[in-house]
Amino acid sequence: MPLLLTVVLGFAVVSNATAQTAAPTVTVKVGSFTKRAVGTVTGTNSGDAACYLSLKDDQGKAFEEVADFAICEKPKAYAGKRVSLGYTLATVMADDCQGDPSCKKTKAVALVKSLTVLDAKAGVPNVAAAAAAPAVAKGQTSFCTPLETVVFSCRAGAKMASVCASKDATRDKGYLQYRFGKPDSREPLELMLPEGEIVANKAATGEWTTYAGGASSWLRFRKGAYSYVTYSGIGRWGPKGETRTKQGVMVERDGKLVASLKCAAEPDGEMGPEWFEKFDVKAKGDGDFFFPD
């Protein structure tokens, strides 16, 4: 009964893009490096210091990135595919070493740690391909890509839960998706709901509510008899009525709580009143939500 979450180390999207030929370049900031976030893979080459990934951007301009060796192990998996690049800061052998294993010189790089195959037309993650791809790079705080907005994301024990929305999402277009799995590993995600690209008010139910001493928000994603609920709130929940916060993910079966995971820290995301209004997400008959102890 899985749940989900994710964030990328050092990522700050500085431009937006579509898959059209004239689209602007999508870039991300990784430490002091500014890197392309999207490209079409044209080749891979396993070198002495790292895997070298050859790509072309949406304008057809060729570029190369340094990647994790694991990416070169499956060259056919990404050949010719348009992908989102997940980076992490790393140290590799310096070029001066020329492959000499005894050389101690190193250099800092923005290393491509993960690739997520994108829909070539819409410029959004291909769900089936993403599920089979490595989960996330080390240090990430959500499972969302640079082309998505983090609605909710937090770590809970050894797992992470994330709710991601396409950048173009409104109440009438785009998609919302819940993702759950083990971060900092190459394992595929355990759960993605919905399995297709569904607009927010059809993908989930939920609400933002105020009450004496606080406020709360929650989103519920259903699959058969099971529901997966991300929540965040503040209220007078202390032993003597002190103000406390609660954040986490709940798993329900036929409306009954069967598992509860609490966020290790305050979650990232935009699950506030403006978000619920913009996307027209409502409780729709399942408004009885109670925060777990």
pTM, full prediction:
0.56
pLDDT (tens digit per residue) in 165-198:
988 888 899 899 999 988 866 667 888 899 888 9
pLDDT of 140: 66
Helix (H) or strand (E) run with residue 70 in it: helix 69-72
194 preceded by a cis bond (ω within 30 of 0)? yes
pLDDT of 178: 94
pLDDT of 106: 77
Q: Is the pLDDT of residue 226 over 90?
A: yes
How large is the greatest C-alpha to C-alpha distance in the chain, in angstroms?
A: 67
Confidence of residue 252 (pLDDT cuts 50, 70, 90): very high
Residue carrying the six token digits 């705080």: 141
